[in-house]
A and B are shown apart, each in its own frame.
Chain A
């Protein structure tokens, strides 16, 4: 038996998903780690009192439990931080509205964090581009052309482009559209870029 096994499992859970996808928030696992930390802390409190009363031979054990507390703290912090990195990436990959199945995987605090991040990013984007603002989440790769051929993979209903025209995005229909209007829909899997 060794301490901090549950904590490292949390880390493994994320490390396995190297492509950046966000798994469900492991509330249960987190609770178990925090419980272990409380238990270690309580045992150390008891031993510290004994050590102060003269039992200095308890000190190595106190140090060992303290290492375990630090280890658990490290694993939990890394777990939460790495999840935020993934959530931040979602803003850039999916846009400002997250699909429901992704939001499901976030805890309340992470949803709040995403909302704050969106606001920071939006106010930054408004402040650049000479007073007009600049959407830097578009055209992240240098585009080859302004208009692209796309095929609709899922029904998405009506879609308005800049000149007021309304396009019906029905599954399997193909359209020739301005790139900047399509990028988010491509990333969300609604449209697919048809490469000739």
Chain B
């Protein structure tokens, strides 16, 4: 079926999710390393490695982004969310040095989306994270668009494998227009 008439709800921009966006729902399904800062009675079963009925304070485990966002409170000690490795200083230095080197599909695949969502958790590193996300995107954007428009002449499969979801969507959009622009 020609996809012309089907227009799904797009993902939100920046730190905002679109409630009805399928992409945002799947993005927020990703898991994050967290530490509980209070006890959760009768919910011990959420931690696979534990046998207790209650989920004690200080448990280190993984929770999906949607639940982390739902429970996190700036002023209260409920949850502390750890930055996934790819947004920490070590990796940020790699991205700054050469953004094109990294395989964002393996490190993500929602590198930009998840990174933007991480800003919800008030880490002191937030300004640096935001800056790195932006600079990485700018650094890689040119190559993504160039390759997409030259897809008839190049083998783009190796590049495609290393793109995160946002970049892939941009690539796809450009690519879909190729036959039309060639015709023109």
Contact = CB atoms under 8 A, between A and B. Distances in A.
Interface in B1-54: 1-9, 19-23, 25-26, 29, 38-43, 45-46, 48
Interface of B: 1-9, 19-23, 25-26, 29, 38-43, 45-46, 48, 63-64, 66-67, 70-71, 78
A15 B3 contact: no
**Interface size bracket, A side:** 35 or more
Interface string A1-17: 11010001001101100
Contact of A71 (B2, B41, B70): B70
B39 A21 contact: no
Nearest to B78: A60
A89 B8 CA distance: 11
Interface stretch (A26-34, A77-85, A112-120, A147-155): A77-85
A61 B1 contact: no
A70 B22 contact: no
A140 B4 contact: yes
B41 A61 contact: yes
Interface of A: 1-2, 4, 8, 11-12, 14-15, 18-21, 43, 47, 57-58, 60-61, 63-64, 66-68, 70-71, 74-75, 77-78, 81-82, 85-86, 88-89, 92-93, 140, 187
A30 B169 CA distance: 29
B2 A75 contact: no
B66 A78 contact: no
Contacts of A66: 70
- Among A60, A81, A89, A92, chain B packs the most CB atoms within 10 A around the CB of A60
A176 B50 CA distance: 73
A1 B42 contact: no
